[in-house]
Structure 1
Amino acid sequence: MLRMAQPQILKYRLIMKDRIKVIVVDDHPVVLQGFVYMLQDLDDLELMNKFMDASTALDFVRHNEVDVVLLDINLPDMNGIEACREITAMHGSTLVIAISNINEPSIIQRMLDSGASGYLLKNCSSEEVISCINDVMMGEPGLSSDIRKIMEGYRKGEIPIVTKREQQVLAMLARGLSSTEIGEEIFISPLTVESHRRNLLQKFKVTNVAALVYRASELKFI
Structure 2
Amino acid sequence: MIRLYFVDNHPLILEGLRALLKGAPDITVAGQARNGATCLSFVSAHAIDLILTDVCLPDIDGVDLCAAIKVAHPSIKLLALSSCRDVKYITEMIAHGASGYMMKDADREELLEAIHTVYNGGTYFSPVVSQLLGEGKKHHLTRREKEILSLIAEGNTNPEIAEKLFISADTVNSHRKNLLAKLEVKNTAMLIKYAVDNHLLV
> What is the TM-score with the length of structure 1 in the denominator?
0.61
CA contact (8 A) 1:129 1:144 kept: no
Counterpart position of 1:76: 58
2:38 is aligned with 1:56: yes
Count of paired positions: 145
**Correspondence 1:65 to 2:47:** yes
Task: Please give the per-residue CA displacement for 1:56-89, whole angstroms capped at 9, x wherever unaligned.
Answer: 1111111111111001111111111111111111
Matched, 1:127 2:109: yes
* Structure 1 gap segments, 5+ residues each: 1-18, 165-222
Q: Which amino acid aligns with 1:44?
A: D
- In the TM superposition, 1:127-206 aligns within 5 A as 127-155=109-137, 157=138, 160-162=140-142
Structure 2 CA distance for aligned equivalents of residues 48 and 63 of structure 1: 12
Answer whether contact 1:154 1:161 (CA < 8 A) is retained: no
Q: 1:58 to 1:153 in 2, by over 3 A?
A: same
Answering whether residue 85 of structure 2 is matched by residue 103 of structure 1, we say: yes
Moved more, 141-150 or 89-98: 141-150
- Contact in 2 for aligned 1:27/1:52 (Cα 8 Å): yes
What is the CA RMSD across the aligned residues, in angstroms? 1.8
Deviation (angstroms), 1:163: 5.8
Any idea what SS the aligned residue of 1:78 has? coil
Give runs of ≥4 in structure 1 deviating > 4 Å.
none
| Partner SS for 1:22 | strand
Q: Which runs of 5+ in 2 are unaligned?
A: 145-202
CA distance in 2, matches of 1:146, 1:91: 30
Distance (whole Å) between structure 2 residues aligned to residue 50 and residue 68 of structure 1: 12
